[in-house]
A = this chain, B = another copy of it.
Amino acid sequence: MTARVEVFVQLKDGMLDPQGKTLEHALEALGYSGVENVRVGKWITFAVEGGCREEIAGRVDEMCRRLLANTVIERFTYKLLEDGE
């Protein structure tokens, strides 16, 4: 099967997010008040071929831990969609 994968990576709660802070200040400077706790993460999408759903999920999990996220400071989640979904 071929699956479309979406990976979401974000700094763990409590980790300072300077990019988010910068956006927060920029939004305020543009006149958007009431915006809080801006966090900037990564949204990584790709297609992957493999056996069954479980096998692909295991591989994606491993890919996240080894390369896509730095699990010391970041947390990740992912979604698997079968092609056609």
Contacts and interface: CB of A to CB of B under 8 A. Distances in A.
A27 interface: yes
Contacts of A45: 10, 37-39, 41
A36 B48 contact: yes
A46 B41 contact: no
A35 B8 contact: no
Interface residues of A, number: 32
A41 B44 contact: yes
B40 A42 contact: yes
A23 B35 CA distance: 32
A36 B63 CA distance: 14
Nearest to A9: B43
